[in-house]
Amino acid sequence: MDDLIIPLYALAALFFVVALLYSSVGLGGASSYVPLLALAGVYYEWIPSTSLMLNIAVTV
């Protein structure tokens, strides 16, 4: 995770905004986490599981 294109604090802020917006209408936001992770430069094999964990955390 040292070679991220977007700094970790900025990525966390983007996740928070996406989670806030999507959860306000009863959704998890997984469709937005995938492009954010891809644009940030996260290893492609980690993206599905990370997106799923974030989606579960928001909807629970």
Q: Would you state the pLDDT for residue 59?
A: 87
Res 44: pLDDT: 92
Total-model pTM: 0.81
pLDDT for the residue 1: 56
Residues 6+ away with beta carbon under 8 Å from 39: 5, 6
pLDDT values of the chain reduced to their tens digit, one per residue, 60 residues:
567 888 889 999 999 999 999 889 988 888 999 999 999 999 999 999 999 999 999 888
CA dihedral 12, 16, 19, 24 (to 10 degrees): 180
Q: How far is CA 5 from the centre of its chain?
A: 14
- pLDDT (0 to 100) of residue 2: 64
